Chains A and B, each alone.
Chain A
Amino acid sequence: MREILGEIGVLTMREIRKWLRSPFLMFFTLVQPVIWMGLFGKAFNITGFIRIPDEMLQNLPPYVTSQLAEIFNNMMTRLFGTADIDYFSYIAVGMLSITILFSSMSSGMGIAWDRRLGFLNKLLAAPIWRGSIIVSKVLSGVLRAVMQAALLLLVALAFGARFHVLFPLGPLAAFGALFFLALGLTSLFIALGLRLKSWESQAAVMNLLNLPLMFASNALYPIALMPSWLQAVAQANPISYAVDAVRQSLIYGAAADPSKLLLDLGAVAVFAISFTAIGVLIADKGLRGG
């Protein structure tokens, strides 16, 4: 057992070192979510459409204004979870989960490169538990994804995202959700990376999954705005639950719903555990020689 922990330790350290030493890669995994954040968050200010201009409100009698306010607040709450929200904050938090998605994908590609460069053979010829190879990949992938998300959170703050943390454990819950999402997605993509040995089919599958997973979730816009068939897909998408958990715990403030948050956390945890189990099984088969 001590030997296995040692193996996992050195292999995880290798991945973390590689990551820390290529700031270029770190930068590029961040760039894409930042672009989405800027493009959608600032340019398509969806919440702005629903607001009523101030001069219009001033010319109305008070009882009409209060009724209007109620109607619009209802709309906002139905669509965005709370009335007191700007679209930039809404999407910035969504992007935390998207950066986890991209980062997990690049971990999956990493194992394909190890195979191609012959490094994997060197590992397989060593007297180590085959599972160590997978566990260290998943572990370093998760660590990387969550750190990446933390970095993005800082970027969002710098660009003016507003946070309303109600629960004292809010940040913990948010990163718990992101951790589970990272665990499930990294396991999934590492298993894919090991099973799809040809480079082209791997790129094809990753590209097939990546954008639909992002758009068919509540990361960019509310599920309530989607057609019903897409709503069904988005509700099955684990990213939606992680995104909602982060929103509940970081930006909804007084409007946050603790039971909804618990449900979200439960859903991503189940996703993480089942996909890790499936991933390890598939990956183990992929590592065994013919």
Chain B
Amino acid sequence: MESIVVEGLVKKFGDFTAVNGVSFSVGEGELFGFLGPNGAGKTTTINILTTLLKPTAGKATVAGYDVSTHPHQVRKRVGLVPQELTVDDDLTGMENLMLQAGLYHIPRSEARRRALELLDLVGLREFADKRVETYSGGMRKRLDLIAGLMHEPEVLFLDEPTLGLDVATRAAIWDYIRRLRKETGTTVFLTTHYMDEADNLCDRIAIIDRGVIKAIDTGEGLKARLGGDIIELELVENGLDVVRLLEGVEGIRRVYVDGGVYRLTVERGDKMLPHVLEVLIQRGVAVKRVSMKRPSLDEVFLEFTGRKLREESGSWEDTFRRRMVLRRMRA
């Protein structure tokens, strides 16, 4: 059974179209990611799927219920971890979880049992009775994550789960997300603007840009669509007409020159590399440096959207929020 089914979803704010006819579906137990820059429509989509916003057009079913006609049924079955840290600084970790449990009408003894179990899972048990204001950014995010799981939701929504965290903490959060998902079997829908996050965590990735889905596939599948590997070359002497020479070689699909670096897209890098070098040496072209790499999702994003994935300037409110999240993370 599908956990999320979305058909032709549109959301307009006045003249601005945030989500423009998005369709996809997510299977039960799948970890599905929305990858795109800020302002691509990721959070708007999450807000519609968690019943915070009403869609302008289209249909969305989550955990078997239509978000527009049965919002209460949907709310009972989904968990939301917003991108802002929503745990309360003035309460302890345990009190935060018990508050969450109260909102989902879980009996106290049952709630306590679950809270301890989840705290164990993310290594926070010994901090359960400490106030959250004493937690680090990573600890707060972990608490926020398990707060979203207190009522054992069928679908968990994570909006930018590692925004503003340092590299080591991010890797740790990924571990916890994998573990929580393994233990609970929950379907996870996450949004991110980090390539490595999508690549590391998600079973399938939807690339979204300006409210439109450009591609949906596994990370590997998306990379395979680019076709092959990339060979980078630097020459001892520039200015030779190497481009035409290389383009003539069978097996090389494309040649880009970027600041003295030649980037060749080839089908099988391991086989093509010796061949390319042989051709160059035969023509007396001296090679200074050579390297080969598999394409990353960065290249994939560039390929599908025609632009690099980078921070876009948002509204003032957006910037403020982001800064506030960052500040709280560092605290």
Could you tell me which A residues sit within 8 Å of B by CB distance? Answer: 3, 6-7, 9-11, 13-14, 17-18, 21-22, 116-119, 121-128, 289-290
Contacts and interface: CB of A to CB of B under 8 A. Distances in A.
Given A127-B75, A289-B51, A290-B54, A121 B82 contact: yes
Given A18-B90, A21-B90, A128-B103, A118 B85 contact: yes
Instruction: Please provide the 6 A-B residue pairs with the shortest distance between their CB atoms, ordered closest to farther.
Output: A10-B102, A118-B84, A127-B75, A126-B103, A118-B82, A125-B80
A125 B84 contact: no
Contacts of A290: 13, 53-54
B52 interface: yes
Contacts of B104: 126-127
A221 B103 CA distance: 47
A126 B90 CA distance: 21
B97 to A, nearest CB: 11
A122 B91 contact: no
B86 interface: yes
> Chain A's interface: helix, strand, loop or mixed, by majority?
helix
Contact of A121 (B52, B90, B98, B103): B52
Interface of B: 13, 47, 50-54, 72, 75-76, 78, 80, 82-86, 88, 90-91, 95, 98-99, 102-105, 131, 321, 324
B171 to A, nearest CB: 24
A200 to B, nearest CB: 11
Nearest to A119: B86
Contacts of A10: 98-99, 102-103
A289 B105 contact: no
B90 A17 contact: yes
- Which of A17, A121, A124 counts the most chain B CB atoms within 10 A? A121
Contacts of B90: 17-18, 21-22
Contacts of A125: 50-52, 75, 78, 80
Contacts, number: 75
A3 B90 CA distance: 25
B192 to A, nearest CB: 17
14 contacts: A3-B105, A6-B102, A10-B102, A17-B95, A18-B90, A118-B85, A119-B86, A121-B47, A121-B82, A121-B86, A124-B51, A125-B75, A126-B75, A289-B54
Contacts of B82: 118, 121-122
B48 to A, nearest CB: 9
Contacts of A14: 88, 91, 99
Nearest to A19: B90
B86 A6 contact: no
Given A11-B102, A117-B85, A124-B52, 12 more contacts: A7-B102, A21-B131, A116-B324, A118-B86, A119-B86, A121-B80, A125-B50, A127-B72, A127-B104, A289-B51, A289-B52, A290-B54
A123 B103 contact: yes
Contacts of B80: 121-122, 125
Given A7-B102, A118-B83, A18 B51 contact: no
A128 B75 CA distance: 9
Contacts of B321: 116
A90 B88 CA distance: 41
A166 B76 CA distance: 55
A123 B131 CA distance: 21
B38 to A, nearest CB: 16
Given A125-B78, A127-B72, A117 B53 contact: no
B329 to A, nearest CB: 13
Nearest to B321: A116
